[in-house]
Amino acid sequence: MKADDNLKRIEYLERRTDTLQTKVNESARIAESLRESERHYRYLFDANPLPMWVYDLETLRFLAVNDAAVEHYGYLRARFLAMTIVNIRPEPDVSQLHENLKQTQTGIERSGTWHHTKSDGSVSLARVVATATGLNCSNEQGQISELIRIPSRRSMTLRLPLAA
């Protein structure tokens, strides 16, 4: 009888081991699927032709900037990530920025036209469209912003065809 009990225990343990292995394999597949999804969305952010960034809603620090933002503003990525969204605003616009940030932000927000300072000190106009991202990887509230550049009058004039 004792041998029979041992055999039943072994069979039970083998079934439990198979069940656990199946769950481990499924967890590994899910984890890989999440990593692939993250790579996909990260690529969509990084490769977007419009300048984009994610900033922390409390500290206003940039958490991520895409390649187009690095190119447009002229800051090295590391420098950009050490800055806040206040740092790219000319001084006269900072109080307006703080007032805008006090407003509850839900859904897609078209925050209007803003002056932005580039690394060379030049100022450009941009329309900013933003949406709250929920939680970022550090469990901080974040906001993703996309910049729609507004060409200066001079550059628009240069693009106009000459009259015949």
The per-residue pLDDT for range 126-138, each reduced to its tens digit, is 888 887 766 454 5
Tokens representing 79 are: 């420098």
Task: Decide which of 3.90.190.10, 3.20.20.120, 3.30.450.20, 3.10.580.10 is the CATH code for 49-158.
Answer: 3.30.450.20
Residue 57 sits at φ, ψ, to 5 deg, of -70, -20
Q: Most distant CA pair in the chain: distance in Å?
A: 107
From 65, 25, 60, select the one nearest 42 (Cα to Cα): 65
Please give the residue that has the higher pLDDT: either 5 or 153.
5
> Whole-structure pTM over 0.75, yes or no?
no
What residue segments make up the domains of the chain, in order of their start? 1-47, 49-158
